[in-house]
């Protein structure tokens, strides 16, 4: 029997949230994985030394040496690993027991390059399970839907195959872009069980509305197929409409909402954007209601 592949886990952070970071690291270190496992914490925008003192000697802590932001931090971590596989975990998320073993097994059995898994979304006191209903995620799946369960904290992939694009505006959608590029090579191997707890308490890398707009426009330019599928196009257009409405840019919100309705009359984000643009409800109230149900805009 061949040896289990070695795994390097990259955890980006900003350095001023010691408790959630420690929980994320400990959840990785207690995995029952039989192979070699190493953890690299990459500190973006803050000195690495204080973080290193908090985590102890079992974890390497490095400063982000590449482009400031999430993609650069992740690529710094990847460059520091000499392992067979790379895994990501955000500093406010937690791997659940058995996550790594299940994904490595599925990846080897399928002969794949890139794996994801189901998640539990935690917002306040609520937890919602998000599953894909499939063991293989294709380009068509990721075009039609963002597939929230294909989350960066679930990613496990062969080192040297792909890296996050540091050109992503504000680091936005670099994980969706990475998953799409991986799926264009080979379908993603998906373990459809909730093996990662994703906390929606507010990430250091949470998007500002202008960044969201730039990130969505970047994705449309990089992946033209997003504008071809009616459901996928309507979803992106609806997100753009909502983001412009949140910024008070009523004319742009109306324009994108019209495009969303044109692509798919039942697109739910368009009327939400119109309600925000009209001042009937705040964007934060809508987001809170969606997050309580384990959904985003």
Residue 48 has a CB neighbour count (10 Å cut-off) of 18
Mean pLDDT of all residues in 174-178: 96
Look at residues 91, 67, 93 and name the one whose alpha carbon lies nearest to residue 79: 67
Place of tokens 């196009």: 233
Residue 159 has a CB neighbour count (10 Å cut-off) of 18
Looking at residue 204, what is its pLDDT?
44
Mean pLDDT of all residues in 260-277: 95
For residue 85, what are its two tokens? 């596989």
Specify whether the CB–CB gap between 184 and 142 falls below 8 A. Answer: no
Looking at residue 36, what is its pLDDT?
95
Q: Which of 12-21, 77-86, 268-277 is least confident? A: 12-21
Average pLDDT over all residues of the chain = 92
In this prediction, residue 290 has a pLDDT band, given cuts at 50, 70 and 90, of confident
Q: Which of 97-106, 117-126, 131-140, 285-294 is least confident? A: 285-294
Does 288 or 132 have the greater pLDDT score?
132
Looking at residue 58, what is its pLDDT?
74
For residue 268, what are its two tokens? 């739910």
Structure confidence by residue, pLDDT tens digits, 237-253: 999 999 999 999 999 99
In this prediction, residue 57 has a pLDDT band, given cuts at 50, 70 and 90, of low
pLDDT at 41 over 80: yes
Looking at residue 2, what is its pLDDT?
79
Question: ∠ CA(23), CA(27), CA(29), 5° rounding?
Answer: 115
Structural domains in the chain plus CATH codes: 7-199 (3.90.550.10), 229-292 (no CATH)
Specify whether the CB–CB gap between 13 and 204 falls below 8 A. Answer: yes
pLDDT at 225 over 90: yes
Structure confidence by residue, pLDDT tens digits, 187-224: 999 999 999 999 986 544 455 899 999 999 999 999 99
Structure confidence by residue, pLDDT tens digits, 78-110: 999 999 999 999 999 999 999 999 999 999 999
Specify whether the CB–CB gap between 134 and 142 falls below 8 A. Answer: no
- For the chain, percent helix, then strand, then coil, each to nearest 5? 45, 20, 35
For residue 153, what are its two tokens? 């904290």
In the three-class reduction of DSSP (H, G, I as helix; E, B as strand; rest coil), residue 229 is classed as: coil
Q: How far apart are the first and last CA of the chain?
A: 46
Looking at residue 14, what is its pLDDT?
87
In this prediction, residue 289 has a pLDDT band, given cuts at 50, 70 and 90, of confident
Looking at residue 123, what is its pLDDT?
84
Specify whether the CB–CB gap between 213 and 244 falls below 8 A. Answer: yes
Question: ∠ CA(45), CA(49), CA(55), 5° rounding?
Answer: 105
Q: How far apart are CA 157 and CA 164, in angstroms?
A: 12
Mean pLDDT of all residues in 169-188: 96
Structure confidence by residue, pLDDT tens digits, 117-130: 999 999 888 899 99
In this prediction, residue 52 has a pLDDT band, given cuts at 50, 70 and 90, of low
């Amino acid at each position: 029997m061949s040896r289990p592949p070695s795994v390097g886990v990259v955890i980006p952070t900003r350095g001023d949230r010691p408790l959630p970071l420690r929980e994320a690291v400990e959840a990785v270190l207690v995995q029952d994985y039989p192979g070699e496992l190493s953890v690299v914490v990459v500190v973006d925008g803050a000195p690495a030394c204080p973080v290193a003192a908090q985590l102890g000697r079992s974890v390497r802590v490095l400063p982000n040496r590449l482009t400031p932001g999430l993609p650069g931090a992740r690529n710094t971590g990847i460059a520091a690993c000499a392992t067979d596989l790379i895994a990501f975990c955000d500093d406010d998320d937690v791997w659940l027991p058995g996550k790594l073993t299940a994904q490595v097994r599925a990846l080897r059995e399928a002969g794949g390059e890139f794996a994801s898994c189901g998640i539990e979304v935690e917002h306040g006191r609520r937890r919602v399970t998000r599953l894909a209903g499939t063991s293989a995620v294709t380009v068509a799946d990721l075009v039609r839907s963002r597939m929230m369960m294909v989350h960066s904290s679930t990613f496990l992939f062969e080192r040297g195959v792909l890296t996050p694009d540091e050109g992503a505006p504000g680091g936005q959608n670099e994980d969706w872009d990475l998953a799409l590029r991986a799926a264009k090579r080979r379908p993603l191997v998906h373990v459809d069980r909730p093996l990662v707890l994703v906390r929606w308490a507010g990430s250091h890398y949470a998007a500002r509305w202008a960044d969201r707009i730039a990130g969505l426009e970047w994705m449309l330019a990089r992946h033209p197929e997003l504008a071809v599928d009616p459901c996928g196009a309507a979803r992106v257009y609806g997100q753009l409409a909502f983001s412009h409405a949140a910024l008070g840019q009523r004319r742009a919100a109306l324009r994108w909402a019209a495009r969303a309705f044109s692509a798919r009359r039942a697109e739910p984000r368009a009327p939400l954007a119109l309600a925000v643009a009209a001042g009937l409800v705040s964007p934060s109230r809508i987001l809170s209601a969606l997050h309580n149900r384990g959904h985003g805009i």
